[in-house]
Amino acid sequence: MNWEILGIWLGAALTLCLYSFLYRDNPFYKFAEHLFVGMSAGYWVIYSIENILKPNWWQQMFPEGGGFNWIWIIPGVFGLFMLARIIPKISGLSRMAIGMMIGTGAGLNMVSFFQTNAMAQVKGTIISVSSGGVWTIFSNTLLVVGVITGLVYFFFSKAHTGIVGKTANVGITILMVAFGASFGYTIMARISLLIGRCQFLIFDWIPTIPRLLGIGG
Amino acid sequence: MRLIIPLAITFVSGMIMVLHFFVPHWPINIMGDNLQEWFMIVTAAAIFLGALNLMHVHFRKIKLKLKNWKYSPVTIIGFMAMFVAGLIYGVTSARPFDFMFMNMVAPMGSTMFSLLAFFVASAAFRAFRASNWRATLLLTSAFIVMLGQVPIGAMIWDKIPLAKVWLMTFPNTAGQRAVMIGAAMGVVSTSLRMIFGIERSYLGGTE
């Protein structure tokens, strides 16, 4: 059995099943959609076992050199508490696991977001608006003004009237240009995926049809 | 107690992580590092919970013969195929798990996302109707970026790719930065509310 051709045909059949949705919702699309959901779930479970549970839990609890690290029982217990959610009688235990996840996530994100998304962005905005050519000065000024006025637009503790309202108006204008650029970029990313799938069908799948029928090479 | 213990766990784990950043010394550094790994382990358990719930939902659909129940065995078989293949044969290349991932999951994933190209295009048609001057601005900036991404843009006018780069570097960065700084402030305040037990909705309800 030629596994390569089987793989190409499976990929092509599932691709066509999913694209059939462009006509309208139909059993082929539903089949592929349900298969995708099931296989993705299976993939993530195995991914978690292989990349998280084995190296970060099992191998820490039972190190290669032998021995047993009892401290690693704790995350295992928290993991079991999380699974207790499916048993109604003890589902309350899952709150402890959720509490641990939320607490750690909040503590971790609070400092990392403040560092990378707030401080680093503010630092990046402190640029010269008086050096370089006219175009550089204009661009840098636009960047600084855009960030400040954009932030004013997102500041809802004060009514957007008077000078605040006018500043917020400048902010929304720059935000519209930014959203337009992001939107255009997103569309092109999707289009490139579409081109990739079409290339797969045209250059990988179609040439296998004559081979399979015994025509030509 | 049903509420106090989870809130205490949230507070302790949150404070350890905050202290870990400001005081990277023993014993906080060990506690912080361990907690980060424990977090990943519990997250993996949450993925298991999601998969179990998925199976529960589909078995229930089959049992009660709910709408579209005939497709539920497809989900269950798909899940079991990946799970069993990964568990028995491993995940290295040229194994059944890898074969199914490369030839089924990955093509379906990219096809699903590429389908969005059509829906984004129709959404764009509605959004880009120049109803006011700001919508026109959005339309123009999106159009320039799209045109600058493809060779035909440069063929029409060689400055279009440069305009695209400028749009992405200056106005787009300005807008994204404003959003990012605002979102970071939101994350900080929400995290503090969670750590100090003011925000409790994640524990289910407001009890």
Whose CA is closest to A147, among B191, B177, B120, B37?
B177
Burial of A131 (0-12, 13-18, 19+ CB in 10 A): exposed
Q: Do A181 and B107 touch (CB under 8 A)?
A: no
How many of the other CB atoms lie within 10 Å of CB of B160? 20
* Farthest CA pair distance, chain A: 78
**What is the residue type of A97?**
A
CA torsion A72→A73→A78→A81, rounded to 10°?
A: 160
Query: Which ranges of B90-105 would DSSP assign to H, the alpha helix?
Result: 96-100
Ranges of chain B whose pLDDT falls below 50: 207
Query: Searching chain B, which residue's CA lies closest to the CA of residue A7?
Result: B103
Q: Is A81 in contact with A97 (CB distance < 8 Å)? A: yes
B140–A3 C-beta distance less than 8 A? no
Region A180-184: mean pLDDT is 91
What pLDDT, on the 0 to 100 scale, is given for residue B112?
Answer: 94
Confidence check: pLDDT of A97 > 80:
yes
Q: Which long-range contacts (CB under 8 A, 24 or more apart) does A143-148 make?
A: A143/B170, A143/B173, A143/B174, A144/B174, A145/A170, A145/A174, A145/B174, A146/A171, A146/A174, A146/A178, A146/B170, A146/B171, A146/B173, A146/B174, A146/B175, A146/B177, A146/B178, A147/A121, A147/B174, A147/B177, A147/B178, A147/B181
User: pLDDT, tens digit, for every residue of A50-66?
Assistant: 999 999 999 999 998 88
Placement of tokens 């690290």 in the chain: A69
Confidence at residue A216, expressed as pLDDT on a 0 to 100 scale: 64
Give residue-wise pLDDT tens across range A132-176. Answer: 899 999 999 999 999 999 999 999 888 999 999 999 999 999 999
> Residue A201 pLDDT more than 70?
yes
Tokens at A68, concatenated = 């047993």
Interface predicted TM-score (ipTM) = 0.88
pLDDT exceeds 50 at position A210: yes
Q: What is the pLDDT of residue B123?
A: 79
CB-closest option in A57, A86, A177 to B49: A86
Residues 104-123 of A with CB under 8 A from B: 104-111, 113-114, 116-118, 121-122
Interchain proximity B138–A177, CB inside 8 Å:
yes
Cβ atoms B97, B82 nearer than 8 A: yes
Q: How far is B190 from chain A (nearest CA, A)?
A: 8
Average pLDDT taken over every residue of chain A:
93
Q: Verify whether the Cβ–Cβ distance A187 to B7 is below 8 Å.
A: no
Chain B residues touching residue A21 (CB < 8 angstroms): 115
Asked if A11 and B99 count as a contact pair (C-beta separation under 8 A), the reply is no
Q: How far apart are the first and last CA of chain A?
A: 18
Residues 6+ apart with CB under 8 A from B91: A46, A50, B97, B98
**A67 to chain B, closest Cα gap in Å:** 18
pLDDT given at position B205: 59
Encoded amino acid at A17, one letter: C
What are the residue ranges spanned by the domains of chain B? 1-89, 128-197
Dist. CA A14–CA B85, nearest whole Å: 20
Q: Is the dihedral of CA A47, A49, A55, A57 positive or negative?
A: positive
Q: Which pLDDT does position B130 carry in this prediction?
A: 63
pLDDT mean over A183-198: 91
**Contact check, Cβ <8 Å, B54/A176:** no
Within the 42-101 window of chain A, which residues sit less than 8 Å (CB to CB) from chain B? 42-46, 48-50, 52-53, 56-57, 60, 71, 74-76, 78-80, 82-83, 85-86, 92, 95-101
Tell me the whole-structure pTM to 2 decimals: 0.87
- A101 to chain B: closest CA residue: B39
Tell me which chain B residues have a C-beta less than 8 angstroms from the C-beta of A174.
Answer: 171, 174-175
Considering only the C-alpha atoms of chain B, give the largest distance between any 2 of them, rounded to a whole number of Å.
Answer: 70
Residue B116's CB is within 10 A of a number of other CB atoms, namely 17
Distance from CA of B48 to the nearest CA of A (A): 6
Residue B70, Cβ density class (10 Å: 0-12 exposed, 13-18 middle, ≥19 buried): middle
Q: Residue B29 has which token pair? A: 């550094």
Residue of B nearest to A120 (CA): B181
| Listed residue (A195, A154, A37) closest to B174, CA to CA | A154
Would you state the pLDDT for residue B207? Answer: 45
Asked if the Cβ–Cβ distance from A11 to B107 is below 8 Å, we say yes
